[in-house]
Amino acid sequence: MNKQIMPIMLSNEPAAACWGEKALISTSDTGMTIHLTEENRLGAIQRGGRKVDGQGIRNVALVGDGWDLERSWAFWLGFRAPKGARSIEWPQLKDADKHELESRIRIVDWVRDTINTPAEELGPEQLAQRTVDLFCGLDKEDISYKITKGADLRDQNYAGIYTVGRGSSRDPVYLALDFNPTKDSNAPVFACLVGKGITFDSGGYSIKPSSSMNSMKADMGGAATLAGALALAITRGLNKRVKLLLCIADNMVSGNAFKLGDIIRYRNGKSVEIMNTDAEGRLVLADGLIDASNIAPELIIDAATLTGAAKVAVGNDYHSVLSFDDKLAAELLTSAEQENELFWRLPLADFHRSQLPSSFADLNNIAAPSHTAGASTAAAFLSHFVTDYKKGWVHIDCSATYRKSSVEQWAAGATGYGVRSIANLLLAKAK
């Protein structure tokens, strides 16, 4: 074996005492061994991958017994990092598992790379085009799309996206992508996926401090996650029509930026008073949810890096799930469990919908000061733009999309978390 390639093996036995109590990794003249002596073996392998990378090792081969699809993928999740090239010689897998692994690497890595790209290089138009390129590379015949931008959004009354994005020198964009394997233009749409694509969020006039702004290139994580989820579902054999609706803009400060006290009037008749320009994600998602509701699919999923409140509730390890549909929420949690991803349901009730009072409009874009359930009231705001909000709609607040610094199982940057779970849910519901 090439001496520049480090063999990585698995063992169910503890490491020798000389490596320390409960050591995860040991080294010998035959390579490195990850010791799987704890209950969460996939987690141990992911942490092992991170430790291997942390030692500056960039080229490895997964050898010996015990390497299957999920274990190989867990190693890659930990081993991969945003800076520097890495290579893996994969173990022999069954054809179906090999196809699945290759799809995950291609698509989840696309999600991670897209989220990690600096905002200077990835504006609204670039995100839309990058998404189109991903899907055209999968199956051009089944994909059609429309990109609406700038003044055309205003003229077509996409009031939220246009208002949020008008303060930037880069035009806001709405991408409507149609995956239609039936080839029938009249085929019903099974699902609509609505993603928040804020390519940089300064907070607007409710400006963020630097410590909160320095990761805001990742505020388009919901859009990237849903794009990846649909792409992965397609590679897994999705055979029903799905529309991907991405609401994309910069949220910047300028003489043309929207201001506190402004009122946005939406196509569904709702008016919204702006009391915080940093609560902009819900404003752009509203346009996508109106379109989704007009299409009337069986399933509507929206995903967004929407609130800090969700991250306070569940940390950086879980995605938050909010829905009025108990069955759908349970199905998403089951899908996540099957894909070894962590999702957690947060409360959402009818009374949250009344906690957004305004003296000048139908809604305020933030909850009244006496109400502190920020993730719940944000989801409740979105529900006002979903016609049948109690059935077939689920909101994902993407708390685990991005990490500012590395931890024992993740490198700094985007995780790609949630792609597999949402793809699984689409396939399960499409049966």
Query: Catalytic positions, please?
Result: 208, 282
| Separation between Cα atoms, residue 236 and residue 322, nearest integer Å | 26
* Contact partners, residue 73, CB within 8 Å, separation at least 6: 101, 104
Torsion, Cα 127 287 182 236, to 10 degrees, reads 50
The type of residue at 25 is I
Q: How far is CA 397 from the centre of its chain?
A: 9
Burial 374-394 (b: 16+ CB within 10 A, else e): bbbbbbbbbbbbbeebeebbb
* Contact partners, residue 40, CB within 8 Å, separation at least 6: none
Q: What are phi and psi of 240, to 5 degrees?
A: -120, 160
| Separation between Cα atoms, residue 29 and residue 163, nearest integer Å | 62
DSSP 72-124: HHHHHHHH--SSS--EEEPPP--HHHHHHHHHHHHHHHHHHHHHHS-TTT--H
